[in-house]
A and B are shown apart, each in its own frame.
Chain A
Amino acid sequence: MRALVLTVNRLAWFVPTLLGLLAITFTISHLIPADPIAFIAGDNATAEQIAALKAKFGVDKPIPVQLWNYVLGVAQGDFGVSLYTQRPIVDDLVGRLPATLELAFVSIVASAILGIPLGVLAAVRRNSWLDHALRVFTVSGLAIAAFWLAILFQLLFAMRLGWTPLQGRVDGWGPDVITGFFLIDSAVAGDWGVFRDVVAHMILPAVTLGFPAMATVMRFTRAGVLDAINSNYVDYQLAMGVPHRVVIWRYVLRNALIGTVTQLGLILGNLIANAVVVEAVFDWPGLGLYAVNSILQSDYNAIMGFTLVIGAVFIIANLLVDVTHGLIDPRESH
């Protein structure tokens, strides 16, 4: 019941939060000193040319009118036109979303697959050399600058050793788009050459993004397992003669997982933040790279669109986390 109330409450705040975010991004973008219009008009533009373009993009109108037009547009799924590419921003964002989601998904799954068992291991063998080694590893994961790690990986694995491609998502045009997830699309098409190529391109960015995520997963799994092990309930179960292993896997792990799921929001936030620069380093054609290119073009319409979409993705993800949490954690539902 409480989970339901929580969910409804969260949902009710979704729209106002987005509107607030929109107001913030709009305010920020209109402090802008750049003149993107002069840029689109080109190197040799004249004053009339620029004035004509300003009228075309509606930036000659008063600020409140522009804000109102923008809100109306967003409500209809129209984020305006990129000042640089002159295509609808929503097309660009939608076109690039699958690349980011695929990368984020692979990174999270990989970090969970590796992070949860390692976290349990560290907890079960706490204070062993393994625990200490893993702790250094987790602390490093959260202290390393993702863009630097990305560059080091490129330097070592792509430039020096030549084991992986340096950058990009696929060599050339990639598989025919069905879902936009190249791993799935190439597998569906049965094109295993492309599939291998996609995997090869994905390794370095996914490891770079997954490393801090894995560190977080490990950290919270370990803490969750330890808390559970030390709880009275476990003592009771052990006293009742339930085998140690069964207690760990049935009860302790479940509780530890709950702890990790609660942190998914945090992990996702971290992941998206890192994705901006990691995509830029690997030239991964997702939202992050789009944002960085927009920065270089001072394309503030595009940056606003990016911020809103990331905000929405993030809010929705947190909502899902809350709901999942309510479902798997018995304490929440009472």
Chain B
Amino acid sequence: MRLFDHSPRLVRLAAAAVLAAGAAVAAPAQAGGKFIFANSSAYDTLDPHAIFDVGRVASRINLYDGLMRWFDNPPHLEPWLAEKVDISDDGLTYTFTLRDAKFHDGSPVEASDVAYSIDRILEMKKGAYSLFEGTVAPGSTKAPDAKTVVFTLSKPSAIFLATVPEIHVVNEELVRANEADGDLGTAWLSKNDAGSGSFRLTRYDPAIGWQATRFEDHFFGWDMVEDPLDTIEFRTVVEINSRVLGLMNGDFHGTDGYLPQDQVKRLAASENVVVDEQESMRIFYSIIHNGRPPMNDVNFRKALSYSFDYDGFIDNILSGSVARDPVPLPNNMWGAPADVEGYTYDLEKAKEHLAMVKEEVREITLGALAGYGQTEQAAALLQNGLNKIGIESKIVSETWPVASGKMRDEEQMYDPLFLWKSTYYADPNNWLGEMYACEQIGARNNSWYCNEEVDALLSEARTSTDQALRKANYEKANRLLMEDAAGIFVYNTKWFGPFNKDVKGVRFSPIGNGQEMRWVSMD
């Protein structure tokens, strides 16, 4: 049976594929060295099942392994801890065969550890839980023998395999030994490591970051990389200027790739730094509350979409560091229609549509995220356009916890709200299915948008295993959403990964953000 619905590449040993892009060129004989990464968000917990954000992905992918793993850009899914997977014809049973692998304490990685890990996710109800909720029932994952783990889904899902990398496998015995008051070991695992990943945790301080050393016995071996790193350190450095200066001085060897363009320019000019540019999959858009007047009127939404200065924002404010994306799907993801024009900054058209609005026009509230300057700048720019066509607006800039709370509440949700949507798994469902399916309203569909035609396309795509049909459905849904002006779709991010000039072998993937350190070496 087919393994990858969207890719002609079928099961094969990871080594070949993985190597193709990652191999380092011949390097001096001296060994590894220490790589220090300056990270903008704090590693508050290292529990791989408690968190699910891209900003702290490094602790998950370096200390832990999953059955499958995403590589490169555009991302492709490869078996990792698993050697192969068989999928039943009804699309409900996934049977993974494990490789020989060891946890950091030397004990073997067994099928029961995988079953424990998914059940732990389901019981903790945090992090990646929502990916599996309703698809995998607690206790339904079985380990008939030490090398075989069988997932039996509650309903067919085209995206299940794409979410498997988030099942980071923990050492069941070790976690159980450190449980306290039935907490599933969360307190202990928040600052310790029970993984099998390429690096083994040696030091952790929530105020500073964490440090890990190379795990010699890692199942994938180290012979593919010449002079792999001995030690990796991920340090929390909140202030942008500190990260940039540290990189320029050579104190840090890498930092996150979503810096303001002015800082990227500074870095690129430094002789110590090389900036690696990649098209990522992280869209910037404005949610529009489609359920509330006057935004429930398509003409009003179109007026909003025509009032945003896309060029001014992208070319000037962001110095052209991103790519215009007229639809809610990253334009480098399959399922994104190639020929969509999208909205432009056109106040005449905005006025025309405004004149056709039947609902009463009132002052609207533009939401922005406090501490994320770009969202404020975008809101201010939209306000600028709205002023000119005679729509009153006020900007509210609130912290992410406040905003994410309001997003789930039909009454409290902002009229429009600017934010990003990152890649948690590389499938169009990560964007369209979550943002605009009717069943997601109030949870991940924060637009209160429910269009029967779009919904039918999305739910068919979510369960179908027919790649051509899925692609066609998503392309059509994209066009409909754009036509409906369901949101203000602005851009897809580019990643400008700044690294020390001596760093070799960085492999960027929108899911791991170039932070999987096992491929990296330093001159």
B242 touches A283 (CB 8 A): yes
- A172 vs B211: C-alpha distance in the bound complex, in angstroms? 10
- CB-defined contacts of A34 to chain B, threshold 8 Å: 398-399, 401-402, 405
Known: A166-B245, A167-B239, A173-B203. A298 touches B399 (CB 8 A): yes
Determine if B405 and A154 form an interchain contact, defined as CB atoms under 8 angstroms apart: no
Task: Note all chain B residues with C-beta closer than 8 A to A48.
Answer: 125
Closest to B235 in A: A172
Report the interface size for chain B: residues with CB under 8 A from the other chain: 49
CA distance A37 to B408 in the complex (A): 12
Q: Binary interface profile of A, 27-51, with partner B (CB < 8 Å = 1, else 0)?
A: 0000001111111111111111100
- B242 interface neighbour in A38, A84, A168, A297, Cβ under 8 Å: A168
Q: Which of A33, A37, A168, A174 has the most CB of B within 10 A?
A: A168
Kindly state the separation between the CA atoms of A159 and B235 in the bound complex, as whole angstroms.
20
Do A96 and B207 have beta carbons less than 8 Å apart? yes
**Contact across chains for B205 and A173 when beta carbons are under 8 A apart:** yes
Is the pair A38, B241 in contact by a Cβ cutoff of 8 Å?
A: no
Residues of the A chain whose Cβ atoms lie less than 8 Å from the Cβ of B371: 296
**Complex Cα–Cα for A38 and B239 (A):** 26
Q: Does B355 contact A (CB under 8 A)?
A: no
In the bound assembly, the distance between CA atoms of A38 and B409 in angstroms comes to 11
The reply to whether B239 and A283 contact each other, CB–CB distance below 8 Å, is: yes
B130 interface hit (Cβ, 8 Å):
yes
Assess A43 versus B53: contact at CB under 8 Å? Given A85-B45, A158-B245: yes
B398 (CB) vs chain A CBs: closest residue: A34
* Minimum CB–CB distance for A81 against chain B, Å: 10
- Cβ of B131 and Cβ of A44 under 8 Å apart? yes
Q: Take A49-B129, A85-B45, A296-B399 as given contacts and tell me if A35 and B241 are in contact as well, using a CB distance cutoff of 8 Å.
A: no
Q: Is B238 in contact with A39, judged by CB distance below 8 angstroms? A: no
Q: Quick check: is A19 within 8 A (CB to CB) of the other chain?
A: no
* Interface flag for B52 (CB, 8 Å): yes
Q: Determine if A298 and B401 form an interchain contact, defined as CB atoms under 8 angstroms apart.
A: yes
Whether the Cβ atoms of B245 and A296 lie closer than 8 Å is: no
Which residues of B (430-445) have their CB < 8 Å from a CB of A?
Answer: 434, 442-444
Does A295 lie at the interface of the complex (its beta carbon under 8 Å from any beta carbon of B)? yes
**Which residue in A39, A85, A295 is a CB contact (below 8 Å) of B44?**
A85
- Whether A42 and B127, one on each chain, are in contact in the complex, defined by CB atoms closer than 8 angstroms, is yes
* Residue of B with least CB distance to A37: B405
Known: A42-B127, A86-B45. A159 touches B399 (CB 8 A): no
Those of A262-307 within 8 Å (CB) of chain B: 283, 285, 293, 295-299
Taking a contact as CB atoms under 8 Å apart, the answer to whether A283 and B238 are in contact is: yes
Is the CB of B251 closer than 8 A to any CB of chain A?
A: yes
Least Cβ–Cβ distance between B384 and chain A, in angstroms: 27
- Interface pair A35/B207, CB less than 8 Å apart: no
Q: Contact at B127–A38, with CB atoms within 8 Å?
A: no
Do the beta carbons of A35 and B125 come within 8 Å of each other? no
Complex CA distance for A302 and B412, rounded to whole angstroms: 25
Q: Which residue of A lies closest to B205 (CB)?
A: A173
Contacts of B131 in A (CB 8 A): 44
Which residues of the other chain, A, contact B251 by a CB distance below 8 angstroms?
171
Q: Mark A47-78, 1 if CB is under 8 A from B, else 0.
A: 11100110000000000000000000000000
Mask of A1-44 contacts with B, CB within 8 angstroms, 1/0? 00000000000000000000000000000000111111111111
Known: A34-B401, A41-B126, A45-B443. A159 touches B207 (CB 8 A): no
B133 at the interface (CB under 8 A from A): yes
Are B242 and A166 touching (Cβ within 8 A)?
Answer: yes
| A-contacting residues, B361-406, CB 8 Å | 370-371, 398-402, 404-406
Q: A42-B130, A167-B239, A283-B239 are in contact. Are A52 and B125 (CB under 8 A)?
A: yes
Find out whether the CB atom of B405 lies under 8 angstroms from the CB atom of A47: no
Q: Roughly how many angstroms separate A333 CA and B497 CA in the complex, as a whole number?
A: 68
Contact, CB under 8 Å: B190 / A87:
yes
Chain A nearest CB from B101 CB (Å) reads: 28
Residue B208 CB within 8 A of the other chain? yes
The residues of B that contact A190 with a CB separation of less than 8 Å are none
Pick from B52, B399, B412: contact of A44, CB below 8 A: B52
Residue-wise interface mask of B (202-237) relative to A, using a CB-CB cutoff of 8 A (1 in contact, 0 not): 010111100100000000000000000000010101
Would you give the shortest CB distance from A289 to chain B, in whole angstroms? 9
* CB pairs A–B below 8 angstroms (7 shown): A39-B405, A41-B126, A44-B52, A46-B443, A49-B129, A283-B242, A296-B400
Known contacts A85-B206, A283-B239; 9 further A-B pairs (Cβ under 8 A): A44-B424, A45-B129, A84-B44, A86-B186, A87-B206, A166-B241, A295-B399, A296-B400, A297-B400
Which 4 A-B pairs give the minimum distances between C-beta atoms?
Answer: A35-B405, A39-B401, A44-B130, A298-B401
| Interface, chain A (partner B; CB < 8 A) | 33-49, 52-53, 84-87, 92, 95-96, 154, 158-159, 166-168, 171-174, 283, 285, 293, 295-299
Which B residues have a C-beta under 8 Å from some C-beta of A?
Answer: 42, 44-45, 50-53, 125-131, 133, 186, 190, 203, 205-208, 211, 233, 235, 237-239, 241-242, 245, 251, 370-371, 398-402, 404-406, 408, 412, 424, 434, 442-444
